[in-house]
Structure 1
Amino acid sequence: MVSKLDLYKIFSRVGKSKSFSEAAKSLYMTQSAVSQAIMQLERELDTRLFNRTPKGVSLTNEGSLLFEYANSAINLIDVGEEKILEFKNLTTGELKIGVGDTISRYFLLPYLETFHNRYPNIKFTIVNGTTLELCSILKSGRIDIAICNFPIDDPALELRPCFEIQDTFVYGEKFKKILAKPVSLAELVKLPLIFLESKSNSRRYVEDYMITKGIKLSPEFELGSHDLLLEFAKINLGIACVTKEFSRDYLTTGLVHEVQLIEEIPKRSVGICFLKSVSLSPASTRFVDIIGNK
């Protein structure tokens, strides 16, 4: 059975070509099938749409009125289908990513560059926040994926670790003699400490680990950015808890020095999060693949 939409597509094509036979050729149908479809539409509307003559067909007044609306509707559907194809082929669209400043700077930028070079017509929206904030934003639907500090305990989220990171402590010249030899965490906490603010996932991870060792934190400073941790340590305001992989420039140039711990803090991961209940968009899927393949 021919659907109503198919009837209007056939009607629109006949109206353009003013010929049943030409419409049939372009639609890969028989002339009889096209004629039957037009008669079916006329019966349903109880209106004659075409004048039939030996030289072809022409629209009636009623047919001309309907043609304006039907042709516009068919054109809009065609445009919509083209846009869907563009979306699937990544020739248009948007990718909304949630990420913290530090991970964005030290991890995400090369992947953004690679993706943009491959799919230059995809628009980026970058939302900054802590891991806790980004997980909430992700579940609200305002972003497609989030790149966060793990561990995360949320059954609504799919988690894909990307690379391991090591939490460590760094210090400036003032503490060089005190920290010349390996120290325990219990000894380290007697010195002035610099940590990220308590809502940070990185801070909570280290703090939770130290609690398992019976050590309670009481930082001298609590800061909002990783770069500030390094700067405060550099000018000897205390011993900063930082991510080693994101501190290499400071460490290799000697601006700060790494504390040699008797027992290292267990490594953790940075990874991608997205909702389990929602399928990733084509752009999100391709971006996740790029990160996973590098």
Structure 2
Amino acid sequence: MISKLDLYKVFCKVGKSESFSKAAKELYMTQPAVSQAIMQLERELDIRLFNRTPKGVSLTNEGKLLFEYANSALNLIHVGEEKILESKNLTTGELTIGVGDTISKYFLLPYLEAFHNKYPNIKFKIVNGTTLELCAILKSGTVDIAICNFPIDDPTLELIPCIEVQDIFVCGEKYKHFLSWPIKLDELVKLPLILLEQKSISRKYVDEYLLDRGIKIAPEFELGSHDLLLEFAKINLGIACVTKEFSQDYLNKGLLYEVKMVEEIPSRNIGVCFLKSVSLSPASTKFVEIIENK
């Protein structure tokens, strides 16, 4: 049985062509099938839609009213289908990414550039936050994907590790003499420490590692950004715990020095996360592929 949507498609085609035979030809249907469709719609609506004339058909007043709405609706459906196709082919659309400032600056930018060069019509929207904040807004649907510090313990999220990073301690000239020999963790924590705020995942990771070894820390400074850790250590306010991969510029220029440890903090990962229960958009899928394959 022909669907209601198909009935309206036939109705609009007949209304435009004012001929059953022309409509049948354009729809690749037989003329009796077109006539039957119109009669079925007229029965369901209990109204006459066309006046039959020797030259063809013309819309009744009621038919004209219905045609105005039905034709607009079908056009909107067509536009929607075109938009879906454009989105699928990545010729239009928007990609919303949740990411922290540090990861955005030191990790994400090259991938944004690569994706934009390949799909220039996709718009980016970047939402900043800590890993915990990003996980929350990811669940609310505010962002499509998030680039976060791992580990994350959340069974509702799909986690894709992308880069391995190492937490290290760095210092300026004042504490440079500690570089002469590897220092133990229990000796290190007696010095003025500069750490990220406790709400950050990377800080929690370091805290838990130390607590597992019976070491509790009371930092001199707790800061909100990785760049501030580097700057505070550079002016000799203490020894900062930083991500080695994001501190290479300071280390290479001799602005900071890595404090050699007897026992290194185990490496961790930065990666992409998204909801398991929601399929990724075409743009999100391609962006994740670029990160994984580059």
State how far apart, in whole Å, the 2-side matches of 1:47 and 1:148 are.
61
Is 2:91 the counterpart of 1:94?
Answer: no
Equivalence for 1:14 = 14
Quote how far apart the aligned CAs of 1:278 are. Answer: 1.3
In structure 1, what is the equivalent of residue 70 of structure 2? 70
**TM-score (normalizing by structure 2):** 0.97
- Measured against aligned partners, the alpha-carbon deviations of 1:241-294 in whole angstroms (never above 9, x if no partner) come to 000000000000100010111111100000111111111111111111111111
| 1:45 to 2:13 alignment | no
Q: Distance in 2 between matches of 1:182 and 1:216?
A: 20
Percent of aligned pairs with the same amino acid: 79
Q: After alignment, is 223-232 or 208-217 more displaced?
A: 208-217
For 1:46 and 1:264, the matched residues in 2 are separated by 81
Question: What CA distance in whole angstroms lies between the structure 2 residues aligned with 1:178 and 1:67?
Answer: 84
Shift of 1:133: 1.1
Distance in 1, matches of 2:188 and 2:45, equals 86
Q: Distance in 2 between matches of 1:178 and 1:189?
A: 13
Write the deviation string for residues 172-218 of structure 1: whole angstroms up to 9, x where unpaired.
Answer: 11111233211111111121111111111111111111111221111
Determine the structure 1 residue equivalent to 2:210. Answer: 210
Q: Moved runs in structure 1, 4+ residues, more than 4 A?
A: none
Q: Does 1:239 align with 2:212?
A: no
Letter in 2 for 1:226: H
Report what 1:61 is aligned to: 61
Further displaced range: 55-64 or 75-84: 55-64
Distance 2:262 2:187 in 1: 10
Tell me whether 237-246 or 74-83 shows the greater mean CA deviation.
74-83
1:25 is matched with 25
Closer/same/farther in 2, CA of residues 65 and 244 from structure 1, 3 Å limit: same
Runs of at least 5 residues in structure 1 that lack an aligned partner in the other structure? none
Correspondences of 1:153-168 after superposition (within 5 Å): 153-168=153-168
The answer to whether residue 182 in structure 2 is matched with residue 182 in structure 1 is: yes
User: Which has the higher mean CA deviation after the structures are superposed, 149-158 or 46-55?
Assistant: 46-55
**Shift of residue 240, structure 1, vs aligned partner:** 0.5
Instruction: Give 2:262's aligned residue.
Output: 262
Give the letter aligned to residue 127 of structure 1.
Answer: V
The residue that corresponds to 1:283 in the other structure is 283
Shift of 1:53: 2.8
Q: Which moved more, 1:253-262 or 1:74-83?
A: 74-83
SS at match of 1:153: coil
Distance 2:62 2:229 in 1: 76
* CA–CA separation in structure 2 for the residues paired with 1:233 and 1:274: 35
Deviation string 1:82-111 (CA, Å, 9 cap, x unpaired) is: 112122222222211111100000000111
**Aligned partners of 2:46 and 2:206: how far apart in 1?**
77
Give distance in 2, aligned partners of 1:215 and 1:60: 87
Distance apart, 1:38 and its partner CA: 1.1
Deviations 1:214-252 (A, max 9, x none): 211111111110001111111111111000000000000
Letter of the 2:286 partner, please give it: R
* Aligned-partner Cα distance in 2 for 1:287–1:118: 10
Residue type of the partner of 1:8?
Answer: Y
Distance in structure 1 (CA, Å) of the matches to 2:204 and 2:60: 76
Secondary structure at the counterpart of residue 111 of structure 1: helix
CA contact (8 A) 2:179 2:258 kept: no
Q: Over aligned residues, Cα RMSD in angstroms?
A: 1.2
How far apart are the structure 2 equivalents of 1:69 and 1:44? 17
SS in 1 for 2:98: strand
TM-score by length of 1: 0.97
